[in-house]
Amino acid sequence: MTVLESIIDGVREDLEERRRSVSEAEIKDRALTASPALDAFAALGGTPDGEGRDGAVRIISEVKRKSPSKGALADIPEPASLAKMYENGGASVISVLTEERRFGGSLADLDAVREAVSIPVLRKDFMVEPYQFFEARAHGADLVLLIVAALDDQKLAEFLALTHELGMNALVETHTAEEIERAVAVGSKIIGVNTRNLKTLDVDTATFGKLKDLIPADRVIVAESGVQEISDVEMYGARGADAILVGEALVKSGDPEATVRAYRAAATAARASAKSATGVSGQSTQ
């Protein structure tokens, strides 16, 4: 059994427990009567045709207590306070881990962050059942994570459609060229390239540069994993990332607000420098 399969087994067990507490009818009603979702695609710099972007690299800042690869990362007694610091530092989206067993997250964290910030919030979890999408919207999520490796083509298309029906956007996470092809085929607007190998949990940041040109220019391209210091965000920016998702480096930084600000500025400057040097945007023109 792979790490991903093991995590998903636990996710399904925990989901069934929540479903016994809150029925599908109730969670749907709460989702459909929630305040409208914020536009995460626009917040990440996306435009309908990919033209007219401002060139800034956005930061998706993550509330993350622990991970399967690193164990405990940080004590976060007040996720709302951390999220507010992220927002004050210029984060464009706040990512909140809600998976409990391996990441120490919860829907209570999502609730607290949603109440504290005015920017889009990503529910970062392993989405494998429709119930979770209604649950995400009911708890105020504007964006959900879809992991291509965890879904067949039918489920990927169905879940992306459900996400859009609920007014949300999806960060569609890929790891390989084949997964990018699948993500593009279903019409994903926000595509992440995760440089962490799901089988070994090892990170190879060079993966981003090898794969990002396979993504059409009208999509928002997100670099995921591998940020330890400012040189990493500069590298992702120079290689054409529209946004960078950062968790561990921020929760361990000691000054999340200043670190977000520095990361955004450094990544944007690196992207502008690379564009100036090559005369191109760093994105595919497919």
Residues catalogued as catalytic: 62, 64, 124, 173, 194, 224-225
Residues contacting residue 39 through CB under 8 Å, at least 6 positions apart: 120, 142, 169
* 94 phi and psi angles, rounded to 5 deg: -105, 125
Q: Give the pLDDT score at 280.
A: 55
- CATH class, range 3-278: alpha beta
Count of other CB atoms within 10 angstroms of residue 59 = 30
- Please provide residue 74's backbone torsions phi and psi, each rounded to the nearest 5 degrees: -160, 150
**Cα(148)–Cα(133) distance, rounded to whole angstroms?**
16
Position of tokens 């946004």? Answer: 243
Residue-wise pLDDT tens digits, 233-286 = 999 999 999 999 999 999 999 999 999 999 999 999 999 999 898 875 444 333
DSSP code string of 130-178: HHHHHHHHHTT-SEEEEEGGGS-HHHHHHHHHHHHHTT-EEEEEE-SHH
Residue 284 is predicted with a pLDDT of 39
Question: What is the reported pTM?
Answer: 0.94
Whole-angstrom distance, CA of residue 278 vs CA of residue 271: 11
Mind listing the pLDDT tens digit for each residue in 97-121? 999 999 999 999 999 999 999 999 9
pLDDT at 1: 76
Q: How high is the pLDDT of residue 286?
A: 36
The Cα–Cα gap between 155 and 36 comes to 24
In the chain, which residues have pLDDT < 50? 281-286
**Under a CB-based contact definition with an 8 Å cutoff, are residues 103 and 7 in contact?**
no
Site of tokens 């207590």: 65
What residues does 205 pair with on adjacent strands?
none
Of 114, 196, 113, the residue nearest 147 (C-alpha): 196
